[in-house]
Amino acid sequence: MEGDTHHLSPSSDNLFNRQLKNYQTNGLNHFPNTIKNNANNINKNGICFTKWRSGDVLNMIKNHPLPCVFGICMLFFMGVEYTLLMVPSSAPPFDIGFIATKHLNVFLASRPNLNNVLAGLNTLFVAMQTSYILWTWLVEGRPRSTISALFMFTFRGILGYSTQLPLPEGFLGSGVDFPVGNVSFFLFYSGHVAASVIASLDMRRMQRWELAYIFDALNALQVVRLLGTRGHYTIDLVVGVGAGLLFDSLAGKYEESKIKKS
C-alpha cells in the first residue's frame, strides 16, 4: 500500500501516506482527528508544490499514470466542449450510440417479429436480475443488493420525473418489452443496466464468477439492443452502470452503519 501512494508529492513520508497509515493503525473513529492533525501540519510545512523537483514529477507520472491520463483527457474535452457547435433546439439530439447502431435500427425496424423475440429475451433477463436480487435477501438473508436496488430505483424515479427526455427518433417499441404492454417509462437512467450491475457485483462478492461473467455479457448485449431499438440514449446506459456501482456502495455503507449502531 505504501508503495502505491509514494511520489504524489516530493516527500517520501508525505502527508497522504501519514494520513493513510494513521487511518489503518487507529481505525475509523480516529480518522477525523487525523485530518485535524494533518491540517495543522500543512500550515507548518508550507505549500506542497513549491518543494517539488523534476524527479518528483517524473515519479508521479511513473507511479500514477491513470490520473495523468485523466488529466490529459480533461484538457482535451475542455477544448472539445468550448469549440463544439451546440445542437439547435429544432434538431434531434446527437447520440454516438445511435450512430454506431444505425444499421441495427434499420435491420430491426424491417423485422418486427425478431424485434419482439429480442424484447422478450430482454424481459426474461430483467426477471433473472430481479429474481437473483430478491433471492439474496429472502433466501440467503443478505439484504445489501435489495437495499441497493431500492436506492437505485427511488433516485431513478426522482431524476426521471424531474427531467423527462423526448422519446428518441426511430424508437422500436414492443408489447413484450419490459415494462410489458408498451407503457410509458423514464429514459434517464437505465434501470435495466443498473440492476444488472448490482446483481453482478453481489455475485463477485460471493465469488460466483461464472454467473457474474454471464450477467456482464448479457448486460452488454442488452446495451446494444437498447441502443439499436432507441430504447435509451447512450448517457442513460452509461449512467446506469455508474448508478449500479454507486448505490451498491451506498447500500454497503448503510449496512455497516447499522452494524456499528447495534
Task: Please tell me which residue in 95, 202, 236, 248 is annotated as part of the active site.
Answer: 236
Task: Please tell me which residue in 7, 177, 192, 248 is annotated as part of the active site.
Answer: 192
DSSP 82-142: HHSPPPPTTSPPP-HHHHHTHHHHHHHHT-HHHHHHHHHHHHHHHHHHHHHHHHHHHTT--
Q: How many CB atoms lie within 10 A of CB 119?
A: 22
Q: Cell numbers of 191, please?
A: 434501470
Q: Cell numbers of 256, please?
A: 455497516
As a whole number of angstroms, the longest Cα–Cα distance in the chain is 72
Active site residue 56: no
Active site residue 236: yes
| Burial annotation 178-212 (CB, 10 A radius, 16+ → b, else e) | beeeeeeebbbbbbbbbbbbbbbbbbeeeeeeebb
Catalytic residue IDs: 192, 232, 236
